[in-house]
Amino acid sequence: MIPAVSQVIQLGEGVVRKVPVPRISFAFEYVPIGIEYFPRSFPLHFESRSGPLKCGDLHAIFTPDNRDSWTEARQTLQELDRDNAVSIATIETLALIVALDEAPPLTATEPVSQFHYGGKNDAANRWQDKSIQFVICSKGISGIVGEHTMLDALTLDELMGDQFTATHASRSRHAAHDGLIPVYMPLKTDTALDTRMIKVQGEYTASMASMAGSEHVNMLSGGYGAAFLRAQKLSPKSVFQMVVQLAALATFSYIPPCWETVNQAHCHLGRVDIIQVVVPAVVTFVQAAADSPVPMSQRRALLVNATHAHSRP
């Protein structure tokens, strides 16, 4: 169960086995390595990492756990050993991860579970703090897991086209290159971390079992005031979007551009319908909401205008 890690900032690619990470450089003696050499890097990793997985190979299973759990585990790993801190820093500078999964999803619904969660067998084969992960399963089935892509299908369409072209291009494979020998970056654990990994793995297994046979899971939340907002002739979704914009202002000290997907019916064509969220009425409200001298009655009126502008683009 081996994720490969492509590294752009440090000009390298790595391969991870549930996560002792080997790094492979994109350049050797300051000369870029041609892509035709890279298929040879995976057999080298398979040969060097054979044998059963141990508990200490499950570090990445912390990353999809709740934020507090992962934050604590990350700090513990860093403080436990200096090599751990270097390894984590390297992983966190990677531009993307390529996860090589053992499982071959066969039915129409199995890929969803496999790509997002790692299925039943590959749970620790994701580093969920990365913005984009390529998942390649047995039998060549593959998918992309993206976290907050800017414009959904629009963002990935050109990338997918490049992948298709590269996959079908006629390219000879060269022998192994000296620069593609894996250099491993260790992640050491202690008894307490091993115990926590087993606990998280058990919780994951139970969660996967509860979703068995489900094609789609809706996470619903009630009691947040939707009925009250509708009684005020306000769209709950639009109000929550205003909350997002207020949070963005508080985080960045300015109002960043923002788009929202409103229709995915055309996603199969490589595009979706989107709207621009930060329109003049929204900007006026967000600026006023952060300005305490503005009377509450005026802020409410500006909120109404902003939500109407959002819900009727």
**Measured between alpha carbons, how far is residue 308 from residues 203, 238, 277, 281, 298 in Å?**
43, 8, 11, 9, 15
**Residue (of 58, 210, 173, 185) closest to 124 by Cα position:** 58
Q: Which long-range contacts (CB under 8 A, 24 or more apart) does 49-55 make?
A: 49/2, 49/17, 53/1, 53/17, 53/18, 55/189, 55/194, 55/197, 55/198
Tokens at residue 115, please?
Answer: 């790509």
Name the active-site residue from 59, 116, 148, 177. Answer: 148
Rounded to whole angstroms, the Cα distance separating 145 from 122 reads 14
Catalytic status, residue 310: no
- Note the helical H segments in 211-279: 226-231, 236-252
Q: Tell me which residues are annotated as active site.
A: 148
